[in-house]
A and B are shown apart, each in its own frame.
Chain A
């Protein structure tokens, strides 16, 4: 079967760094997305990885290892507005998105 695993909840301190992990098992692989979703709002696109390595976008970076079926989202210099759920989604061989349940990130001052 197809499966995406990510931690349910994480807590971090304002100004710190946090890494949110995602492991995936899908039939085929055509890339991995990360989305941010604030409570009561729509998911918004953060990043897409299809090749191994680290992609950096300002305070946010996303890493992919295809051989390990593993990705992480790295958030630096955490701000209170980063409190949100972070959704990992893998693209399978049929170009369908398989979504994780999301990681709720709580930022404390």
Chain B
């Protein structure tokens, strides 16, 4: 089934640990995104990639890094987790950047940093 797969579904992580959230899509979409969703706030963009080999910073990039080695994969790494990074993380993709290309979302990763 075509779509976006995120792993893990949920994770409890000790502060200071390193963690990589995985995201894979099989729709051959050019653009990919990482968002975090916190109660009472809109989705906030962490990092994005318009095409394989390029990445850019979103609204809240500090403490996170990404890579886009190929079209399908877009992992998000927390180098040293802090409690404020407790959130639900959504990976998304779109056929192209901008305009009327809707986002397709993965099912999310619920991360708790203790």
Chain A contacts to B: CB under 8 angstroms: 4, 30-31, 33, 35, 41-45, 48, 50, 87, 89, 91, 95-102
B97 and A97 within 8 A (CB): no
Chain B contacts to A: CB under 8 angstroms: 40-45, 58, 90, 97-100, 102-108
Q: Within the assembled complex, what's the spacing in Å between the Cα atoms of A97 and B107?
A: 19
With contacts defined as CB atoms under 8 Å apart, how many contacts are there between chain A and chain B in the complex? 50
- Return B79 CB to nearest CB of chain A, in Å: 25
**Which secondary structure characterizes the binding site on chain B?**
loop
A45 and B42 within 8 A (CB): no
Query: 5 closest pairs, A vs B, by CB?
Result: A95-B98, A99-B42, A42-B105, A45-B102, A99-B43
Nearest residue in B to A3 (C-beta to C-beta)? B42
Contacts A42-B107, A95-B97, A97-B103 hold; do A87 and B90 have CB atoms under 8 A apart? no
- Return A31 CB to nearest CB of chain B, in Å: 6
B98 and A101 within 8 A (CB): no
Q: Which residues of A contact B99 (CB under 8 A)?
A: 30-31, 50, 91, 95
Nearest residue in B to A102 (C-beta to C-beta)? B42
Known: A4-B42, A42-B108, A89-B43. 17 other contacts (CB 8 A): A30-B99, A31-B100, A33-B102, A41-B108, A42-B90, A45-B104, A48-B102, A50-B99, A91-B98, A95-B99, A97-B43, A97-B45, A97-B103, A98-B42, A99-B42, A101-B41, A102-B42
